[in-house]
Amino acid sequence: MSQLPGSVAVRQPETMPAEPGRAVRRTARRPLIFGELVVVLLLLRAYDLIRGHAEVRQGPALLHGRQLLNAERWLHLDIERTVNHWTVAHSALSLAASYWYQFLHITITLCVLVWCYWRRPGSYRRARNALVLTNVFGLAFFLIYPAAPPRFLPGEGFIDAVARAGFGTTHGGPVTADQYGAFPSLHLAWAVWTAVVAYRLVRPTWLRRLWLGYPLITATVVIATGNHYLLDVVAGVFIALGTLAIAHRLPRSREYGRSGERWPLLRRAHATFWRLRGKPAPTESGIRRRWSDYRLRRELLPRSSKDRR
């Protein structure tokens, strides 16, 4: 191709830029499994520490449990004993509710969490953060406001359906339950978390509607087995919805969900520091350039008198 006199040759780019308005899709990366296991172990350790002070918490727990029951009677919401006695009278339903309380509840929650980690890594961090916050708030309530379940209240006539099913009064299972951690109901908080996460991630409409019924079944189970009050159920629902809303608003979660890129903790702290100063955070290339200039200035500085000698 000929070139006109006085013109300047312009080199064409080797690759064409992306079309305007079209977002580049990036694959979200899963967080390291080691860090996830550390978080689980820390929560279990905190749960064990709170559960280990059962003797100290027994008196306040019985008092708070009776307060919850009296509040429900004042509100005409005390349906626990009626549901409990009706369920125990039907052996098959009582046995199914006991096994649901012991095994299916935690199994379904963990399956949804693992499925989200493996199949939906772009949404996993938000879901994981919400579940961690749910447990943190629940443990805080167990420590500040211990409450005995209805089956522990003397003279109220509640029947421990799970103990009748052969699991003992301590309800031994994969994770031994806190005997004085009735308020709020983490069973319901986990169930609401599971339903919301599964509803947002599955595609078939009928399956999404089916997941919405999961918290209702769990609520019926925890009341029918004599393990929770109706107020525990309501508190668990509110905690789960609140933590889901908080996790959705976290900057790290939104950034990861949109771009699929990792955002290390040091980089987040660095960006927050610059925002507090009212200045835009420098880019990674700018940081490298400043570091190179600093090293160059160090090399050009005159040596000290000690080095000269």
Q: Are 25 and 107 in contact (CB under 8 A)?
A: no
Burial 45-71 (b: 16+ CB within 10 A, else e): ebbeebbeeeeebeeebbebbbebbee
- pLDDT truncated to tens, each residue of the chain (309 aa)? 444 444 444 444 444 444 444 444 455 677 778 888 888 888 877 777 776 666 667 888 889 989 999 999 999 888 889 999 999 999 899 899 988 988 888 889 989 998 888 888 888 888 889 999 999 998 888 888 988 899 888 888 888 888 888 777 666 655 666 678 888 998 999 999 999 999 888 888 888 888 989 999 999 999 998 889 999 999 999 999 999 988 887 755 444 444 344 445 456 566 666 666 666 766 666 666 766 676 677 777 665 544 555
Query: Using CA atoms in the order 204, 207, 211, 216, what is the torsion angle rounded to 10 degrees?
Result: 140
Give the model's pLDDT for residue 192. Answer: 94
> Would you say the C-alpha torsion 162, 167, 69, 239 has a positive or negative sign?
negative
Q: Are 105 and 227 in contact (CB under 8 A)?
A: no
Q: In angstroms, rounded to a whole number, what is the distance separating the alpha carbons of residues 71 and 214?
A: 27
Q: In angstroms, rounded to a whole number, what is the distance separating the alpha carbons of residues 301 and 240?
A: 59
**How many other CB atoms are there within 10 angstroms of residue 204's CB atom?**
8
Angle formed by the axes of helices 91-99 and 214-224, nearest 10°: 110
Give the model's pLDDT for residue 9. Answer: 47
CATH number of 64-259: 1.20.144
Give the model's pLDDT for residue 257. Answer: 40
Cβ-Cβ contacts under 8 Å for 86 (sequence gap 6 or more): 224
Q: In angstroms, rounded to a whole number, what is the distance separating the alpha carbons of residues 264 and 252?
A: 9
Give the model's pLDDT for residue 234. Answer: 94
Give the model's pLDDT for residue 256. Answer: 40
Give the model's pLDDT for residue 201. Answer: 84
Identity (one letter) of the amino acid at 77? L
DSSP state of 100: I
Give the model's pLDDT for residue 253. Answer: 43
pLDDT tens by residue, 165-202: 877 766 665 566 667 888 899 899 999 999 999 988 88
By CB neighbour count within 10 A (0-12 exposed, 13-18 middle, 19+ buried), where does 166 fall?
A: exposed
Give the model's pLDDT for residue 231. Answer: 93
Give the model's pLDDT for residue 221. Answer: 92
Q: What does the block give as tokens for 208?
A: 């999404």
Q: What does the block give as tokens for 197?
A: 């996460």
Cβ-Cβ contacts under 8 Å for 267 (sequence gap 6 or more): none
Instruction: Provide, rounded to the nearest whole percent, the portion of the chain with pLDDT above 90.
Output: 19
Give the model's pLDDT for residue 230. Answer: 93
Give the model's pLDDT for residue 55. Answer: 64
pTM of the model: 0.70
